[in-house]
Homo-oligomer: A and B are copies of this chain.
Amino acid sequence: MIMSRNAMIGQSGGPTAAINASLAGAICRAFEQGFDHVYGMQNGIMGLLEKKIIDLDAFKDPDKLDTLKKTPAMYLGSCRYKLPDYTKDETPYVKTFEILEQLGITDFFYIGGNDSMDTVMKLSAYGRLKGKALNIIGIPKTIDNDLMGTDHTPGFGSAAKFVATELVEITYDSRIYKVPSVTIVEIMGRNAGWLTAAAVLARKASQGSPDLIYLPERPFDKGQFVTDIKAVLEKKNNVIVAVSEGIRDKDGHFMDADSGMTDVFGHAIHSGTGKILENLVQKEIGCKVRSIELNVLQRAGGHLASATDLDEAFNIAKAAVDTALMNETEKMMVYVRQDHPYTITYEARDVRDIANLEKKIPLEWITEDGHDVTAEMIAYLEPLIEGEVNLTYKDGLPVYLDITHLI
């Protein structure tokens, strides 16, 4: 008897522009390889536990698959859920495997970041312990680019392209007036500054901005910051600053931990790093100043996705299916890079070497003065934002896959 082969795919963590490209890649390869069924869990492992399962048969249609590839955020929905230690609470493990066995699932794919790889690791370990014949493979994604073991992460290139494009347009916007002004752009990344560093890619296209870049990997000093800005203002009118939301002082205190602001009842008010620096410039320099928080726009900007990113995200998921077909488990797929010319190959790594770790920017890729990045960093970033995605537009807006089922 030939065993039937069935896949279960989930998405978890925060959205990116490329996570559906990985879903599309996994579906595509599974059907190419003759899988009988490909299922999706709605809202990750939490949805699976509630038996919220979507049959993904409809994506045998290549047009629908292509639209899925280009649709930002998550078609299957997400969750934020950490599996308990199975030695303390086995319940969700028992239930998960029960549901998977009922459906005859042979291969399990989980697309996500650090926390999702924790899920992959724990489920794999439990499966191994219980002698389950289930291949469990993690497929990375995160705009933060902070996963170990992989050259970069799916989703990062598109977010970087969004950040760099906006930095160009913000520079054009601010340069029109002949008055000194400071524009502070706050970019996501709590502990790792990769996405903020990508602001540097705007420099050629904007004839010189951003002028200053501050990353969480180096201690932030308010006095030095004001000095840096004054130095730029001596040379030009419009200073553009890219700053990570996660910058902190030499004692490790986040800049936005205590804004010094209170509401009418005297309660402390949380304010973004950019806003706090805006107030600082206002007080210390007194020129025109504005802060801009790129906010969630930078993480699911499908209309500015990097074609390189979507293609790689698609292909790494195809490679994940091939890896599972070799009965590999307890793995996360990674990008292995070669330069001259830039090429990516896809490999499987032990997920235990990756989960719950964070990859930060090497300090030698930050300039001595602490407010810029080096040529090595630029060379690392450049290929990742290459290529535009040929989106379909209808009534003036991008056409994405209907996600009514998530409402």
- Seen from chain A, the residues whose Cβ lies within 8 Å of a Cβ on chain B are 11, 15, 43, 46-47, 71-74, 77-80, 161, 164-166, 168-170, 172-178, 201-202, 204-205, 207-208, 236-238, 260-264, 269, 279, 290, 292-293, 295-297, 299-304, 306, 382, 385-388, 393-400, 402-404, 406-407
Contacts and interface: CB of A to CB of B under 8 A. Distances in A.
A386 B396 CA distance: 4
16 contacts: A11-B176, A71-B172, A73-B175, A73-B176, A77-B175, A77-B177, A78-B176, A78-B177, A79-B178, A168-B397, A175-B406, A205-B397, A261-B263, A290-B295, A306-B396, A385-B395
A195 to B, nearest CB: 15
B260 A73 contact: no
Contacts of A79: 177-178
Among A11, A168, A208, A404, find the residue whose CB has the most chain B CB atoms closer than 10 A: A168
Contact of A208 (B11, B47, B297, B407): B407
A176 B204 CA distance: 36
A69 to B, nearest CB: 14
A400 B204 CA distance: 11
A170 to B, nearest CB: 6
Contacts of A292: 293, 295-297
Contacts of A164: 396-397
A238 B238 CA distance: 39
Nearest to A259: B263
A302 B404 contact: no
A400 B172 contact: yes
Contacts of A74: 176
A204 B395 contact: yes
Given A261-B269, A263-B260, A269-B261, A396 B161 contact: yes
A93 B404 CA distance: 61
Contacts of A174: 296
A138 to B, nearest CB: 19
Nearest to A238: B407
Contacts of A71: 172
Among A11, A78, A169, A394, find the residue whose CB has the most chain B CB atoms closer than 10 A: A169
Contacts of A46: 178
A261 B296 CA distance: 25
Given A165-B303, A201-B397, A303-B304, 4 more contacts: A169-B301, A269-B279, A292-B297, A385-B397
